[in-house]
Structure formats: C-alpha cells, structure tokens
Structure 1
Amino acid sequence: MEWCQVRTNPERRNALLDAALEVLARDGARGLTFRAVDKEASVPAGTASNYFANRDDLLTQAGSRFYERLQPDATVAVSQLATGPKTREHVVELMKQVVSRIEAFRTGYLALLELRLEATRRPELRAVLTARVRADIDYNVTNHLASGMPGDAKSVELLYLALNWLIVDRLTLPGVFTEQQSQELITAAVLRLIEEEK
C-alpha cells in the first residue's frame, strides 16, 4: 500500500491554515474538518488531507498560524519602543495599537479562543499554545525592559492579562464596553499598572 506524501507548498499550506482559522471562528472546533477547510479555501476536495497528517496536526498548525499573522513587523515594533518617548502616555498609544490590531483580526482571535478550549482536551495542542504564548509574553517583557520604557516585567504581564480580557469582551460581547470605554480602559490600565517615573 502506498502512503500519501504530505505536500510542502508553503503558500498553499498557509491558505489552508487561514481557511482553518475562518472555519474555527465561524463553526467552532467541532466544525473543523478537512472537507470544511477545503471548501473555505476553495480548493479541490482532499487537498487539506494532503497537507496535514491528521486533524490534530491541522489544529496545532492553525494555532501557530494565528501568531504568524498577528505579529507586526519585528523591526517596526522594536523601533516604536526604541525611538518613541519613554513615557506612560507612549505605552498607552502602543497598547491601543496592539488592541486595535487584534480586533482587526477578529476571526483569528475567535479561532484562537476555540483552539484554547480544544487545548484543554489535547495535550499536544496545549503544549504548542503554551510554548507560543509564553514565548510571546517573554518577548514583550524583554523588549519593553530593553527599550527603557517605564514599567517592569510584572506591569507588562498584568497589561497582557487585562487587555486580553478586554479584547475577549470586545470581540464576543461588544455591547459590554463601547469603543470609547475600551480606549479609556486601556489608558487607565497603563496609567495604573505602570508607575510614573521619578
């Protein structure tokens, strides 16, 4: 019996993973099938099964793809920290940009929430997401501290926690906080979590 060879075309793989994120956001983890991904990506039936060993592989790679798509250009992000004013007000503006970028990728973030729930039942997916989220937090803390911005590692971690829940509310229950309230809460979180330089 001849085994199916896994395909390696990176553009096609990314298109399939992007389709998987859309399916996850719309239909949840239970709706994520190879057939649903093929349909969403407008490719012939059976294409996704040529790129992913199984559904677990698809879920795991979809989790990584979310972070690939969300990451801003590293040079731009580091430059904004390094060249901007070293003030809490500048941190407020940077945090507003982060929240805005995530809100603009609504389906991706909703897919990530589905993946997080699925990770409670799938140890391999949990390991991938844990490593990725931890690396993301460490990267943000390291860059923040290296930039000379006000605030310590704990303030960066607390902002991560506070803003993530604000994003969840904005994307799932947008009536809880208006856009204006959201902006005010971001400002308040930064100003309360990062002490003024003395």
Structure 2
Amino acid sequence: MVRRNAERRASLVDAAIEVLAEQGARGLTFRAVDTEAAVPAGTASNYFANRDDLLTQAGARVYERLQPDEATIARHRTAAQDRAAYATLMRETIARISTFRTGYLALLELRLEATRRPELRAVLTARVRADVDANVAHHEESGLPGDATAVRLLYLAFNWLIVEQLTLPGVFSEAEREQLIEAAVDRIVSS
C-alpha cells in the first residue's frame, strides 16, 4: 500500500508540474491537479496538506527529474577533462533541461510565486543554493578546467539561454545557440 501511495503522490506532483507550466501558479488548484492526473476529485487534497505543500513538492520534483542518469554521469567522469568536454557537458545539460520543457516552465512559475510566498522562497533558495554548490563540488572533483566562479557564471548565462529557448525559441537559431555555448565556455572557463 505504501508503494502505491508513493506512486500516486509522484503522479499527482507530476500533474502539478504540468498544471504550473500550462496555467501558471494561479491555475494550480487541487481540482486542476486531479483533472490533469485523471484521478477522482478530492484525491490531491488527501495527499497534500495545502497548496503550499503542493507547490514545494512540485519544485523538489522538478529538480529530481532534471538530474542526469548514472550512465551520463559515468561517461563524463571518464571523458577528457578539457574545454571541449566542458562544452559537451553544457550542451547535454541544456538539452536535458530543454527536453523537460514543462518542468523548467513550472520552475519559473514557482520562482515567481516565491516572490509572494516567503516559505516557498526559503525552500527554493535552499534547493537552488544546494544545486549550485553541488555543481561547484562536482566541477572541482571532475578536474575540468575553470573554477567555482566559472561554474556560477555559466549557470547564470545558460539559465537565461534556456529561458530564451523555451519561451521565445525564434530569438536564436539552433546554430546560434551552439555558438553561444561554445563562446561562453571558451570565454568564461580558463585553462
């Protein structure tokens, strides 16, 4: 029974992510989540204490789903540790995030909602800070060129590139995005 409840909860949180991406934070209701998850009315309210709980769990689930799989991690650990490998890692990261379009858009909605909800802001701040710190730690362990500042600058630059790609995909062509990734790595990451 516990496993089924965990699966149902995950399904409801995934539905919340879809609702956030499609309707925004104001559209995130228990009823909208129930509809998106194709479950009986009232199901979501049995799994989440309140809307803030649902928002917080949706944010955590986005990050969970954005993590690379073990094969990708292993491949990068054994790859050459140079700028070319760094650029490849950045391209793959951007592609993985862009593939989960609704997740990233939901995360943007959560960030906007966090400006009005101190509890959500605290949770997201801690989660994003932990993510940045994990990226810096991974970078330092990997032997890739560059330092912690380079990781943070690329994080900032590529987050906006992803926003452009997902919200206004016609601003930059695919070729231009590739050139921008290469140029950012080349200019920001020192040997």
Give the SS at the match of 2:157. helix
Matched, 1:34 2:65: no
For 2:55 and 2:36, locate their aligned partners in 1 and report how far apart those are by CA, in whole Å: 15
Shift of 1:100: 0.2
Counterpart AA for 2:83: R
Where in structure 1 are there 5+ consecutive unaligned residues?
1-7
For 1:142 and 1:78, locate their aligned partners in 2 and report how far apart those are by CA, in whole Å: 14
- Runs of 4+ aligned structure 1 residues displaced above 4 Å come to none
For 1:65 and 1:97, locate their aligned partners in 2 and report how far apart those are by CA, in whole Å: 20
* Residue from 119, 129, 147 that aligns with 1:152: 147
2:113 — aligned with what?
118
For 1:123 and 1:138, locate their aligned partners in 2 and report how far apart those are by CA, in whole Å: 22
For 1:147 and 1:76, locate their aligned partners in 2 and report how far apart those are by CA, in whole Å: 16
Give the SS at the match of 2:64. helix
Counterpart AA for 2:137: T
TM-score (norm 2): 0.96
Counterpart AA for 1:142: A
Provide, for residues 115-151 of structure 1, a one-character-per-residue CA deviation record: whole Å limited to 9, x for no partner.
0000001111111111111111111111111111101
Matched, 1:167 2:185: no
Higher helix proportion (structure 1 or 2): 2
Identity of aligned residues (%): 68
For 1:28 and 1:34, locate their aligned partners in 2 and report how far apart those are by CA, in whole Å: 14
2:21 — aligned with what?
25
2:135 — aligned with what?
140
**1:78–1:143: 8 Å Cα contact kept in structure 2?**
no
Aligned length in residues: 189
Matched, 1:13 2:36: no
TM-score (norm 1): 0.92
For 1:150 and 1:79, locate their aligned partners in 2 and report how far apart those are by CA, in whole Å: 18
For 1:22 and 1:165, locate their aligned partners in 2 and report how far apart those are by CA, in whole Å: 21
Give the SS at the match of 1:9. helix
Where in structure 2 are there 5+ consecutive unaligned residues?
none
**Superposition CA RMSD, Å:** 1.4
For 2:99 and 2:184, locate their aligned partners in 1 and report how far apart those are by CA, in whole Å: 21
